Amino acid sequence: MIKYFYLISLFLILNIPSAVSVDRSNFKTCDQSSFCRRQRKYKPDTTPYEVDLSSMKKIANGHLQFVLLNTVKPQVKFQLDLYTLEQNSLRVKINEVNPIRKRYEVENVLITEPKLVDATIKKTDNNQIEGRWSIAAKFILNAKPFRLDLFTNDIFVISVNSKNMFNFEHYRQKPGTNGEAGENNNEDNEDGMWEETFKTHHDSKPYGPSSIGVDVNFLNFENVYGIPEHADAFSLRSTHDTDPYRLFNLDIFEYDIGNPMALYGAVPYMLAHNEQATVGFFWLNAAEGWIDVLNDKLNTKTLLSSLTSFFGTKSTNDNSEVPEVTTHWMFEAGIFDGFFFMGPTPNDVFRQYTTLTGVTPTPPLWSIAYHQCRWNYNDEDDVRGVNNGFEQHQIPVDVIWLDIEHTNGKRYFTWDTSKFPDPEKMQDDLAAYGRRMVTITDPHIKKDDGYHVYAEAKSNGYFVKTKDGSDYEGWCWPGTSMWLDYFNRDISQWYSQRFTYDNYKGSTRNLFIWNDMNEPSVFNGPEVTFPKDIVHHGGWENRDVHNLYGMLQHGASFHGLVERSHGNARPFVLTRSFFAGSQRTAAVWTGDNAAHWSHLKIAVPMLLSLSVTGISFVGADVGGFFGNPDAKLLVRWYQAAAFQPFFREHAHIDTARREPWLFGDDNTRLIRQAIEQRYSYLPFWYTLFYTQEKNGVPPMLPLWFHFPRDKNTFKTEDSFMIGNGLLVYPVTEADTNQVSIYFPGENTVWYDIRTFTQHNGSETALINVDMESIPVYQRGGAIIPQRLRKRRAAMLAIHDPITLVVALDRNNEAEGELYLDDGQTYDYRQKHQFIHRHFTFKNNELQSTSLDPTAKFETDAWIERIIIHGYPKNPTRVKIHSGDKQAVPLHSYQDTTQTLIIRRPGPSVTADWTLTIA
Amino acid sequence: MMLLSSYITSVLIITVFATISSGNIEHTVLRGVPSSLQSKYAQLKSFACLDGSSTIPFEYVNDDYCDCRDGSDEPGTSACPNGRFFCENKGYIGTSIPSHLVGDGICDCCDGSDEYETSVVCNNTCFELAQKSRAEHEARRILHEVGVAKKKDIMVKSIVAVSARKARLLELEQELQTIDNELKEKEALKQLAEAPESEAKEKHQKLWEEQRAIREAIAHDNQMREMFADIDTNNDSLVSIEELQKHTELDTDQENEFTVEEVRSILGADSVNLDEFNVTVFEQISNSYQKLPQPSTEAATHLEEVTEKIDEALKQEEEKKTTTTSGTEGYYEEDTNHHHDDDSDHHHHDEDADHHHDEDADHHHHEETITTVATSLDHGKHIHDDTVPQYDDETKKLMEIADHARNEYNEVERKVHDVKRQIEDLRKQADVDVGSHGEYSAFMDQCFDYDEREYTYRVCMFKDAKQISKGGGSDVTIGYWDAWTGPSDNKYLKMKYANGATCWNGPARSLTITFQCGVDHKIIDVREPTRCEYSMLFETPSACDEKIATTIIHPNHEEF
């Protein structure tokens, strides 16, 4: 959240206007970033890079090493490492051999060393080797010119450097310095190579140019996704007429939508999907990056002539053109460390990526419920008043948040004691309603010898340094501030220890954490962040590691909360900045959006882009952070966000109050209904988060994930899926009484969750909507567990009975899952205390079986209702068996909607049972 | 909950064919039912949902499954999201709570009856609550009692004040009538006195204008003569071509020579005498004409002569004119200050006070003016002097009489203004809504302060509210008196001050004051829940409630 309010004087200095949209001149274009300028224009007709096949060494099973040469500069040697990995994944590293400065290789992202699998290597001729490392995965390395082609199920899917844009700027001596003179003065002395200035900020660039560019081309694909964070389309736009998509974590004040500007976080991971395959490319690099995306056509004949195999069995002989998405990746520093995920299914790609970078551990149940936030709830009375408002209006809520004003002068881990004299009691009072609190801890540390966090960090030398070795100082909320160097494990651990109850006075076990401004935001820094030439632990420049900073902070916060409870309670941390792997320790929100319909609409593509790149616990501020939403926009936003993973209302300090009951009885009712719907689906959400922990598939998904062959879904960004069960189409237009919804999937049937009306797949339907409507549809074939009873907070419902909603497919079949545990501890992992049920409906029988019979969880929860949509006729008899018990529950049937409702079937959720309909 | 009610709707169409229920819920039929409704839950074969929407078998009541759309079949469980659970709360007040609070592990009823099915142990706090509540009630009652006494005092004072105001108003209105009549008389007198005054002044003015015309004619003639003499260098009383040709400044096309032809075209002849010069030449050349350089003595001599002549002529003319008019000596005053002249030369100052002031200023100018005239004549220049001569004594006298009449009129008019203002103020006061019985009349013209860490808040009732920075810096107006904004049953519980200073990047500040009963008038709290929207809590006896003050709970009463 950007809070410039108190910094009006600073405003003048930074020249940030108070207008409603971003001042783009504060942020670099590609042309203003010298490496991007150089790389973007690098388009030779042929590549000067060649692989010396004779140099091939097998370092280990699954690891081959080659020498790569730049024929223009043969004295500079590169090393090419190919790692064939489990799960159809391939890692390709290219680095300088004996560079004059060690190049940064990203740490803290991969969860383990990737597992190698041996490849069958074949030398097809003197210029190529072919490697197959699974039935589905094959590579062909072309030596002269250097090029790497990848195949999944023998279908040519990815080609690297087929556009000759691979360009590796090796470290070199500055021309004119003593010792060796520069190799080629003209070339090495281009503007911006050895220093550059943006606005008033000078980048000393002591190591000169070090960027890497490469083209990665997706053959026969028309759609690529990912590389968040941008407020832009889900299926990435061509950047032919714009700047490339930028990856550089920045605090953009009042961001615009529909452009490739960098935002708060970065995941350098892209997926491509077509009817045949889903593949991915992940370049593990934390430096500033730019990515051009071009939708191209490729003449297959040209392609064939240079290849021994193409398109496998589906090879085309004619001279036709195939689509191709050409992507050009440019990073300022580091090495080339590319991971290729060969799919072939969407599910496979998600697993392949998360096997390397991790998943989101099942969040505490309350954290996927509703959160109430504001900059700021002013004092303890205010917090109590807000809590009472929810009670009075019978609106469920689980968490109330405190923004920066709760601290003593923006000294995090402290309280403004005049406003919050007894924070423990305040948290206990909330806990008495089953609710929790989140407070903010930003990464800037106020420069104040009287502030214990600062004093200790200062005396220990824990702060990030300038290039001259002094502590770096910048401005943020508290005024002059310094930043902890989380790259040093000791410092990171020290930060984690700040969260102990002893160190964080006034915190209780019901207090959780929000990390904002962690790009980091530095009000007087270049592009409102760190200068590139400041120095982190190990001597690495911010240039090398920039995009990791936020993740290191929220990771340390997460571990602090784990340690605080001695490993028992699951933490909750929300972060604004993120990188690949952030999913392991934080939820992410889309930062400082605005109260505009366009921002409500863009939330879906933004959240989808995050979800497909592994950041699965994501949301956008309900109502829009800046500005005042009218009642209609606010209601629609609640309705949309009730079906998005992270559900929080938040507002800027300058906005009018917008608690749910402030917009008249009608709107209060509509908002209550939306929040109640969220709570009713919490068993489903919770199950999805658990399965996400197991298989890497996020709860919020693009339609193509479940309908990979339905071309109509490839660009869909107005609707999305929750798991494989619900299709959600948020209403994002101000004045509309009809929406046009595409229902995916041939032979698929969809059931309106409110009216039970059926819709056929592969069809677009015009749906009438009023302010009550949240167009959500259950997929025929899905069984969804719900809790239709109401509670004031999610944790109070964990033993409440379950309703199973069975939506039958065309074959009268369906299946689904239910995961339950205590909702807040690690007992599910450490003591195996949970239940994970599998429900199948087939041949008029609904069965509940355990997916993990060794797991145990004590609960009174029982099945109170089974609703079956699409059941063809009123049955004569329904029976239920559980062990040696039998019962004949009552049922009712509604002809018009083909809905069968079974009253009080009664078994415990933990039991195996079979329901038979006759 | 929306969803569940949809399902319930569909249940209503069922054909019941089996009655085996597999639930193991303890059947306590009357759990959660208030005594007033217990007759509806009589153990019969069937139960009619209280909204009449359907009838269900009696064993469905409190069987932990929601059958009725209104939730009435589950008064004792949490099965219906829209149901109500009645806590008996023996010893305290029985209350109805939403069903979703039943069995949620949180004790909501003081008798703990909502948590009968959970492992949570709820202490029965009804007795303590009742005691506490009684004590609180009594404390509150006493507060209101004391407050109401003060409030009544305010109301009585208000009545007194209102009748005093009314009496005063009446008095003032009568006075106004009287002085209004007086004013009319004075106005007539004023007009009577002003008529001869303005006639005399007009006459004087006319005379002055005539004199000025003569002066101008003489000056013109003198100039012409002087010029003629000047050009006529051979003093033959004729201006010849040769003489004029020396004045090359008269050559209209400066490029060529000043030819004989050109000179002749000016003269219209080879030479002209004084009369001809006056008629045909003087006007043509007077603008461009320059004297030839001459020995200074000669010029001075000549100038003296001319001056003497002018003097003489002027004297003669003056004598002639004054005898033909009023026969009095002419005194002149400066025309620019003569505000009875053409109004366009003056800013309108119709207010009589100003008028008087100007009049005085005019008289002051007289002496000065005379000096100016003398000086001008001494130097033989400024013959176009615009100064007006002083009024004659008679006119002065008329003016004095008129001044007196004006003064008297103005004095009465001031009185009328004053009385009118007083009446207006009283009416304004009467218009301020100080409560249905004047209970807020004590606020009239009062300001109240509240000290907070950074600011002092100051409300001047029915006027404005300010935030005064303690660390220096200017005051910020957070609103001007707007209206009473309390709920419809008692709008005097809140008041609003609106349209204060605009916030940076935000709306205009505003303040809402909420009143509650207290012994004194006092600000209790000021907050800013939303940026620039302030809210203030204010204690005052004016907000005390007689009903509360008189509702006494019998100490031995078991229930409320």
Chain B contacts to A (CB-CB under 8 A): 1-4, 6-7, 10-14, 16-23, 63-65, 78-79, 81, 98-101, 104-106, 453, 503-507, 527-531, 533
Q: What is the 3-state secondary structure (H, E, C) of A88-110?
A: CEEEEEEEECCCCCCCCCCCCCC
Task: Label residue A309 exposed, middle or buried (CB < 10 Å: 0-12, 13-18, 19+).
Answer: middle
- Cβ contact, residue pair A790, B81, below 8 Å: yes
Q: Which of A110, A219, A102 is nearest to A154 (CA)?
A: A219
Of the candidates A653, A680, A862, the beta carbon closest to that of B1 is on: A680
Residues A864, A893 contacting (CB under 8 angstroms): no
Same domain, A55 and A129: yes
Does residue B305 or residue A484 have the better pLDDT? A484
CA distance A419 to A377: 10
Catalytic (active site) residue A468: no
Provide the shortest C-alpha distance from residue B12 to chain A (in Å): 8
In-domain check, residue A71 = yes
Query: What number is the average pLDDT over the span A566-581?
Result: 98
Contact status, residue B438 vs residue B162, Cβ threshold 8 Å: yes
At A531-546, the pLDDT tens digits run: 999 999 999 999 999 9
Q: Tell me what pLDDT residue B11 has.
A: 41
CA closest to A867 among chain B residues = B7
Q: Which of A674, A694, A714 is the last residue of a domain?
A: A694
One domain, residues A431 and A531: yes
Is the per-residue pLDDT at B314 higher than 70? Answer: no
CB-CB neighbors (< 8 A) of A892 in chain B: 10-14
Q: Which amino acid is at A326?
A: T
Residue B309, pLDDT > 80, answer no
Instruction: Please identify, among A282, A317, A345, the residue that sits at the C-terminal boundary of a domain.
Output: A345
Query: What's A302's domain CATH number?
Result: 2.60.40.1760
How many domains does one find in chain A?
3
**Contact by Cβ (8 Å): A116, A85:** yes
DSSP A411: B
Task: Write down all domains in chain B, each with its CATH number in brackets.
Answer: 170-293+391-430 (no CATH), 441-550 (2.70.130.10)
Mutating which of B4, B99, B524 best tests the A interface, going by the most A Cβ atoms within 10 A?
B4
Domain annotation covers residue A507: yes
Say yes or no for a CB contact (<8 Å) between B20 and A865: no
Structure-token pair, residue B175: 């006075």
Q: Give the pLDDT confidence score for residue A64 in this predicted structure.
A: 97
Order of all β-strands in the sheet with A63-70: A49-60, A63-70, A77-85, A89-96, A336-341, A278-283, A269-273, A223-226
CA distance B31 to chain A (A): 19
Q: Distance (Å) from the C-alpha of residue A26 to the closest C-alpha of chain B?
A: 21
Q: Is the Cβ pair A677, B531 closer than 8 Å? A: no
Q: Give the pairing of strands A814-820 and A782-786.
A: parallel
Helix (H) or strand (E) holding A666: helix A664-680
Q: Is B13 helix (H, G, I), strand (E, B) or coil?
A: coil
Examine residue A698 and say whether the peptide bond preceding it is cis (omega within 30 degrees of 0): no
For residue A149, tell me if it sits in a domain.
Answer: yes
ipTM reported for the complex, 2 dp: 0.88
> Are A599 and A627 a contacting pair, CB within 8 Å?
no
Residues A431 and A506 in one domain: yes
What pLDDT was estimated at residue B171? 93
Cis-peptide into A391, omega within 30 deg: no
Span between the terminal Cα atoms of chain B, in Å: 33
At residue A804, φ and ψ (nearest 5 deg) are: -100, 125
Catalytic residue among A442, A516, A621, A822: A516
CB–CB of B345/B336 below 8 Å?
yes
The pLDDT tens digits of the residues spanning A724-763 come to 999 999 999 999 999 999 999 999 999 999 999 999 999 9
Q: What's the pLDDT score for residue B307?
A: 56
Amino acid at A662: L
What pLDDT score does B247 carry? 82
CA dihedral over B439, B440, B445, B449, signed as positive or negative: positive
B366 CB-contact burial (10 Å; exposed 0-12 / middle 13-18 / buried 19+): middle
CB contact under 8 A, B104 and A434: yes
Residue B321: CB partners within 8 Å, gap ≥ 6? B207, B210, B211, B214, B330
Which residues on A lie below 8 Å from B65 (Cβ)?
864-865, 903-904
Give the best residue of B20, B26, B62, B69 to mutate against chain A (max A CB count within 10 A).
B20
Q: Do A656 and B530 touch (CB under 8 A)?
A: yes
Mutation to test the B interface, candidates A890, A891, A898, most B Cβ within 10 Å: A890
The answer to whether residues A443 and A311 belong to one domain is no
| C-alpha B201 chain-centroid distance | 43
Encode pLDDT of B375-416 as tens digits: 333 343 444 456 667 888 888 888 889 999 999 999 999 999
Please give the mean pLDDT across all residues of chain A.
94
- A439-496 tens-digit pLDDT: 999 999 999 999 999 999 999 999 999 999 999 999 999 999 999 999 999 999 999 9
Side-chain-facing half-sphere of A366: CA atoms under 13 Å: 30
In a domain, A759, yes or no: no
pLDDT of residue B280: 83
Distance from CA of B135 to the nearest CA of A (A): 24
A878 CB neighbour count, 10 Å cutoff: 24
Q: Do A466 and A498 reside in the same domain of the chain? A: yes
Query: Are A644 and A511 in the same domain?
Result: yes
Confidence (pLDDT) at B335: 42
pLDDT of residue B305: 59
Please tell me the distance in Å from B353's CA to the nearest CA on chain A. 51
Which residue among B7, B17, B19 places its CB closest to the CB of A901?
Answer: B7
Q: Kindly state whether residue A578 falls inside one of the protein's structural domains.
A: yes
The C-alpha of B18 sits at a distance from chain A's nearest C-alpha, in angstroms, of 6
**Which of B2, B122, B525 has the most A C-beta neighbours within 10 Å, making it the best mutation to test the interface with A?**
B2
On whether both A313 and A380 belong to a single domain, the answer is no
Displacement of CA A764 from its chain's centroid (Å): 29
Distance CA B485, CA A283 (A): 62
Asked if pLDDT for residue B137 goes beyond 80, the answer is yes
Chain B hits for A663, Cβ within 8 Å = none
Q: A172 vs B256, which has greater pLDDT? A: A172
Written as one string, the DSSP assignment of A854-909 is T-------BEEEEEEET--S--S-EEEEETTEEE--EEEEETTTTEEEEE----BT
Give pLDDT, residue A37: 96
Range ranked top by mean pLDDT from A311-325, A813-827, B186-200:
A813-827
Q: Would A183 be classed as within a structural domain?
A: no
Residue percentage of chain B with pLDDT more than 70? 76
Instruction: Write the CB contacts of A186 (distance below 8 Å, at least 6 apart in sequence).
Output: none
* A38 and A104 both lie in a single domain: yes
Angle between helices A452-460 and A489-497 (to 10 degrees): 160
CB contact under 8 A, A653 and B1: no
Q: Which token pair is A602?
A: 């863009």
Query: Omega before B34 cis (within 30°)?
Result: no
Read off the pLDDT of residues B11-35 as tens digits, 9 standing for 90 and up: 433 333 333 333 444 446 688 998 8
Among candidates A867, A877, A904 on the partner chain, residue whose Cβ is nearest the Cβ of B65: A904
What residue of B is the nearest CA neighbor of A628? Answer: B506
Last residue of a domain, one of A635, A670, A694: A694
Which of the two residues, A640 and B277, has the higher pLDDT score?
A640
Query: One-letter amino acid identity for B498?
Result: A
Q: Which of A753, A758, A885 is nearest to A810 (CA)?
A: A758
Burial class (CB in 10 A: 0-12, 13-18, 19+), A525: buried
Q: Sorting pLDDT into bands at 50, 70 and 90, what band is A26?
A: very high
Average pLDDT over residues B431-458: 92
Distance CA B478, CA B531 (A): 12
pTM: 0.81
Is residue A309 predicted with pLDDT exceeding 80?
no
pLDDT tier, A319 (very low <50, low <70, confident <90, very high otherwise): low
Residues A388 and A325 in one domain: no
Pairing of strands A511-515, A573-575: parallel
Which of chain A's residues have a Cβ under 8 Å away from the Cβ of B101? 792
**Residue B531 to residue A654, Cβ atoms within 8 A:** yes
Residue B258 has pLDDT above 90, yes or no: no
A744 Cα distance to chain centroid: 24
Cβ of B18 and A790 within 8 Å?
no
Mean pLDDT of A37-46: 95
Of B79, B100, B527, the CB nearest to A792: B100
A610: enclosing H helix or E strand: helix A597-612
- Would residue A488 count as lying in a domain? yes
Does A811 map to a domain? Answer: yes
User: In the predicted model, what is the mean pLDDT of residues B61-77?
Assistant: 94
Average pLDDT across chain B, whole number: 80
- Is A398 annotated as catalytic? no
Spell out which residues of chain B touch residue A788, defining contact as CB-CB under 8 Å. Answer: 1, 3-4, 7, 81
Note whether A377 and A281 are same-domain residues.
Answer: no
Identify the domain containing residue A311 by its residue range.
Answer: 33-171+210-227+267-345
Q: SS3 for A401? A: strand
pLDDT in tens, B342-363: 444 444 444 444 444 444 444 4
**Do A380 and A331 share a structural domain?**
no
d(CA B267, CA A205): 93
Q: Per the residue annotation, which of A592, A710, A718, A822 is the catalytic one? A: A592
Are residue A326 and residue A449 in the same domain, yes or no? no
Nearest CA-CA partner of A646 in A611, A683, A597 = A611
